[in-house]
Amino acid sequence: MLAGTLALPLLSALVPAAASAAEGAAVPARDGVALSVFFGVIALALGVTWWTGKKASTTLAFYTPGRSVGPGRVGLALAGDYMSAASFLGIAGLVASEGYDGILYATGFLAGWPALMLLLAEPLRNLGKFTVADVVAYRLRRAPVRIASAVGGVATLLFYAVGQLVAAGDLVHLMTGTPYAWAELLVGGAMLLYVLVGGALATTWVQITKAVLLLAGVALLGLLVLLQVGPPLELYTRVAARYGTAALAPGALARNPLDAISLGLALGMGLLGLPHILLRFYTLTDAKAARTSALWATGLIGSFYLVIPAVGFGAAVFVPGGRAAILAVDPGGNMAAPLLALHLGGAPLLGFIAAVAFATILAVVAGLTQAAASAVSHDVYLGVLRAGRAPQESQQRVGQLAATAFSALAVGLSVLFRGQNVAFLVGLAFAIAASANFPALLLSIVWRRFSTAGAVASIATGTALSVGMIVGGEAVWVRILGHAQPLVGLANPCIVSMPAAFAAAILVSLAAPDPEAQERFDAEQLRTYLGVGGDEAGRR
């Protein structure tokens, strides 16, 4: 039923007709120099990926940085996993178009890191093997937990990918003038090719390249803004002079306090349920390396999110036409940073920034596709349907099918979500992550009486509530389905869906206990806190 209602706007978006001709006028770029820099930098980034991919061909080498790589570099790779072009473009856009409210995203996206470190980093390092389900199901019945956890994981990854793809579509549309829906198909095709042919996407070096490119791009823009304004505080004076002091204080968020709290919760806790980040902790050599690397990552990500608001304010002040011009190019404001680049550094800088953003989006979505594919092929197909035994080729085929289906779904959704701010969309993905994955993960590590039924109930409740409330909320019900009023008043569902997932976990675990799992908790604790036992105890 839902698929039917969504298919109509999807089809109409793919028919170019009048829409693209009308909006062509608003796009300022399409310049030969910008385009050659754009494609040149993308080709270079893909070349690095391909080259490093050839060097690390085994699955083990995939994620495992190995002992030869120091914690600083692993930290860069972790930062590369996490920092996304969508958060860069989205936050800069929000700050440019709405002012202060965008800053909450920057702060929230960092605040998850200490929480991750304090609650999950070492247990993940000590318990994890391939997927999030490994940890949740450590002492529970494998099959039901794996299925539930694959569903929760894929839902999270899908929404996260949609946020990234909307940004990529906007970029390609801005740079080449290709109608948005076709740009999405193009990006989706490129990402699928990258996954199916490239293979080694999550290699440490790809993520390091990505982190360096993004940090350099953001730092460069921040520096250019500073050079323009002189003393840093002058930037705020100019913002206040042009848009009033309201731009430097909470606006829409303060009008809906519950929404602000819900968003803050999602941003702060979502990281603790993001499969593609959690997986990297499995590969670190010891707990000390895990902590030091995560500290490096926190520092790098912190500086990234400190500079982005300045880029956003810079765009509001320096892009000719200001907010109105930025919103005319894209109603989500997502193109604020590229437009600022065009104004401060001309066509070459626009080409560079757009290429950095695009190449990093490609790397992120490819990684997301891969994580989703392995949840399906490893957890569901191999673990449940084939009871742990399946030839490598058939497992690979299932993975490829899953990757294709995931890309198609992500592209379709990103066409529908056009014109929405991508940091906002990533915030929705964080709400799913914080509700579907995080409660079950945490309780499986700390609570002896956590049971299989409790885990399944928690993941099912968290996934269904968060996704359902997003569909009934402003983002889908009003902006995509065209209803006048949302069914759900909250723009971000986290404040309802995360506590509900915890409650379901606790109530169902108490109602349907799992005595065997309680007995195995001792062995799990040894592994959680000391990194020994467990494996040797014949569990796996």
Partner 1 sequence: MDEPRASRTAARSHELVRSPEFRRLVARRWTVALGLLALLSVAYFGFVLLVAFAPVLLARPFAGALTLGVALSIAVIGAAYLLTAGYVSWANGAHDREVSALRSRWRG
Interacting residue with partner 1 among 63, 100, 159, 318 (CB under 8 A): 100
CA–CA gap between residue 57 and residue 429 (Å, rounded): 31
294: contact with partner 1 by CB under 8 A? yes
The least CB distance from residue 494 to partner 1, in Å, is: 12
Q: Is residue 115 near partner 1 by the rule CB under 8 A? A: yes
Tokens representing residue 315 in the block:
């765009």
Our finding on whether 117 is near partner 1 (CB under 8 A) is yes
Stretch that binds partner 1, among 246-254, 370-378, 408-416, 421-429 (CB under 8 A): 246-254
Closest-CA residue to 341 (of 226, 218, 232, 233): 218
Site for partner 1 contains 277 (CB under 8 A):
no
CB of 95 to partner 1, least distance (A): 10
**Shortest distance, position 405 Cβ to partner 1, whole Å:** 37
DSSP string over 55-78? H--SHHHHH---TTS-HHHHHHHH
Task: List helix spans (H) across 177-232.
Answer: 180-193, 204-229
Instruction: Select from 299, 419, 468, 499 the one that contacts partner 1 (CB under 8 A).
Output: 299
**CB closer to partner 1, 103 vs 372:** 103
Residue 287 found at the interface with partner 1 (CB under 8 A): yes
Residue with tokens 């399944």: 456
Only one of the segments 81-89, 97-105, 156-164, 400-408 lies at the binding site for partner 1 (rule: CB under 8 A); that segment is 97-105
Closest CA to 57 of 193, 203, 191: 203
Quick one: which of 10, 111, 384, 503 contacts partner 1 (CB under 8 A)?
A: 111
Among 223, 258, 385, 511, binds partner 1 (CB under 8 A): 258
* Options 169, 268, 351, 493; binder of partner 1; rule CB under 8 A: 268
Q: How many helices (H) and strands (E) does the chain have?
A: 25, 0
Of 19, 48, 219, 248, the residue at the interface with partner 1 (CB under 8 A) is 248
Binding partner 1 (rule: CB under 8 A), the pick from 18, 118, 324, 484 is 118
* Shortest distance, position 519 Cβ to partner 1, whole Å: 8
- Among the listed ranges 130-138, 238-246, 461-469, 496-504, the one in contact with partner 1 (CB under 8 A) is 238-246
Of the candidate residues 47, 189, 257, 321, the single one contacting partner 1 (CB under 8 A): 257
The closest of 531, 540, 538, 534 to 285, measured between CA atoms, is 531
Instruction: Output DSSP code: residue 537.
Output: G
- Nearest by Cα to 99 from 247, 301, 220, 268: 247
Counting contacts by CB under 8 A, is residue 516 touching partner 1? no
Torsion of CA 466, 468, 469, 473, to 10 degrees: 130
**Residue among 395 and 518 whose Cβ is closer to partner 1:** 518
DSSP 497: H
- Alpha carbon distance 534, 540 (integer Å): 8
Q: What does the block give as tokens for 29?
A: 């770029």
Is the C-alpha dihedral spanning 530, 533, 539, 540 positive or negative? positive
The mark string for 519-538 relative to partner 1 (x by CB under 8 A, - otherwise) is ---xx-xx--xxxxx--xxx
**Start-to-end C-alpha separation, the chain:** 42
- Left if phi > 0, otherwise alpha if psi is -120 to 50, otherwise beta: which for 453? alpha
Determine, following the binding rule CB under 8 A, whether residue 242 of this chain makes contact with partner 1: no
Identify the burial level of 392 via C-beta atoms within 10 angstroms of its C-beta, where 0-12 means exposed, 13-18 middle and 19 or more buried.
Answer: exposed
User: Which residues would be at the binding site for partner 1 (CB under 8 A)?
Assistant: 100, 103-104, 106-108, 110-111, 113-115, 117-119, 122, 233, 236-237, 239-241, 245-246, 248-251, 253-254, 257-258, 260-261, 264-265, 268, 287-288, 291-292, 294-295, 298-299, 302, 305-306, 309, 522-523, 525-526, 529-533, 536-538
